[in-house]
A and B are shown apart, each in its own frame.
Chain A
Amino acid sequence: MVKYGFVIDLKRCYGCYSCTAACKASNNTPMGVDFAKCVSGETGSYPATQRQMLPTLCMQCEDPECKTVCPTGATVQNENGIVTVDKELCMGCGYCMMACPYGQRYKISTWRTYFPAATGELDAYQSYAKRKWEESNGYGIASKCDFCMQRVEDGRLPACVESCPAKARTFGDINDPESEVSILIRRDRGFQLNPEFGTNPSVYYLPAR
């Protein structure tokens, strides 16, 4: 059985936010929803400091906490390991947002434009994005990244992988020991974020040094 996963090489990521932008363009996410978010971290004290970018997305955990706490059954785990939300079933209680160790659930109540000074009707691009968002997710539900499942089914790569100029992101089947992701995880000391929560994420990171 195929189980989709990611390998993100922290040595390669330089924080250009291409993944964030490509994700927004592909999923038509409004302001306040960032399925592919890149966060910046610092450590040490001056002058011995370091900075490291961390691209995040839904980890598509094998034992997803969000699915455990979901009272409605709206959160489901597909056979390929991808966790999705049925927007017709979700009641928007926000329990998954409290339970997700990775902060990858997004709930918004209304469409917010990126151009707050603009007046009148939304322009053609924004009204297209708004319509698409309302078809796919809408408001009041806890939406999330689904590894661009529609693109993957069409034989394409997730938008964030395709757009990454540093080739920091690799997508593939982590159940297949000969796949590129599996080899990278084995060979380059792949690790998962916050394993202490026991959710077994499908997104692996390669150490920065």
Chain B
Amino acid sequence: MKAQTKWGWLIAIYLFLAGLGGGAYIAGVLADFMGMSSGISKVGVFLGFPCVFLGCIFLIADLGKPINFWRAFMKPKTSWIARGTIIITFFLIIDFLHIILWIWPFDVLTDFTGARHLINLLGLIFAFGTIIYTGLLLGASRPIAFWSTAMLPLLFLVSALSTGFMAVILGSSIIGVPKEGLGFLERIDIALIVLEIFVVAFYLQGTHRVSESRASAKLVLSGSVAPMFWFGVAILGLLLPLLFDLVGLYALSGSSSHIFILLASAFGIIGGLFLRQVVLKGGIHAPLKSGRFEYGLTNV
């Protein structure tokens, strides 16, 4: 049984950027609700739109007929791509308004806390929708048991939140906004990484029921996808960020602590991209079954 080849890096980047943008927005809104410095919150809110928008460009680039991309809205009754397109469009519109009314060119929302929190709340709903949809999108492919599982939306949700928080930490540090409150995001991020390690483990453990998802797990753990999984996801994306975050937050202080946390965030973000590609590359269709014979699909 061979893995699917039709969805590759372009789709992985799209899934990753949609998660990253949604996660960063959620981190920004959370920082705003918690009353942290508005600089941190603005970084998160500002990252949402360009990341998700760029992700959509990658998605459109993968289409066979990009000129028809606008038709992706047409069948939300049954298709997760159509539903997702609508969710993402709402998110983009809300975040766009959020940015122009709060960050640039206008700054009217600073004084209207009630209106800002209303936009926060609306954006939060669609940011979660954007993230979770990327998992449900793959999950709707019933013949691919590796995707068609309840764990996948959860895995993408945790990974998106984690990479989004890291992007906000990284972005806030780069533009040098006041750091009070950043430590709180870093501690949440440590919890998210630990949670993600468990979710990845359960996701792979839960593949044992049917032969094609067992084959997927084998491909990911010891087959051709294994180097990307172990080096890109497990070590670069999870263990190193966890270690560096812990060292940076609890063992060091000052600028050396700062460097560790920046590295942890950069590694974690790259790991999130590898995670999407590993999931895509591990997707194996169920074989055709006729009596005792099994036939792997050839055209996928």
Residues of A with Cβ closer than 8 Å to B?
10, 34, 37, 39-44, 50, 52, 54, 56, 65, 67-74, 89-95, 97-107, 109, 139-142, 191, 193-194, 197, 205, 207-208
Contact = CB atoms under 8 A, between A and B. Distances in A.
For the residues of A in contact with B, the DSSP-based class is: loop
Contact of B289 (A100, A140, A194): A194
Nearest to B67: A91
Contacts of B71: 71-74, 89, 91
Nearest to B59: A93
Interface residues of B, number: 42
Contacts of B82: 71-72
Interface string B104-146: 0000000000000000000000000000000000101111100
A141 B71 CA distance: 13
Given A54-B288, A69-B81, A194-B289, A103 B300 contact: yes
A30 to B, nearest CB: 13
Contacts of B298: 37, 39, 103
Nearest to B300: A103
Which residue of A74, A95, A205 has the most chain B CB atoms within 10 A of its CB atom?
Answer: A95
Which residue of B71, B74, B82 has the most chain A CB atoms within 10 A of its CB atom?
Answer: B71
Contacts, number: 150
B293 A54 contact: yes
Interface in B65-123: 65-66, 68-69, 71-75, 78-82, 85
B290 A98 contact: no
Given A71-B75, A97-B6, A91 B63 contact: yes
A72 B286 contact: no
Given A71-B79, A102-B288, A103-B299, A91 B68 contact: yes
Contact of A69 (B4, B65, B66, B80): B80
B6 A94 contact: yes
B254 interface: no
Given A95-B79, A197-B143, 8 more contacts: A41-B294, A43-B293, A54-B288, A72-B68, A91-B69, A98-B138, A142-B64, A207-B291
Given A34-B299, A73-B74, A101-B286, A92 B64 contact: yes
Nearest to A34: B299
Contact of B286 (A93, A106, A194, A208): A194
Nearest to A87: B65
Contacts of B63: 91-93, 140
B297 interface: yes
Contact of B72 (A91, A94, A99, A207): A91
A139 B66 CA distance: 12
A91 B141 contact: no
A102 B287 CA distance: 8
Contacts of A142: 64
B209 interface: no
Contacts of A98: 4, 6-7, 138, 141, 143-144, 283, 300
Contacts of B294: 41, 43
Contacts of A65: 142-143
A23 B254 CA distance: 71
Which residue of B143, B285, B286, B292 has the most chain A CB atoms within 10 A of its CB atom?
Answer: B143
B295 interface: yes
Given A69-B81, A70-B79, A91-B65, A106 B292 contact: no
Given A70-B79, A194-B286, A43 B295 contact: no
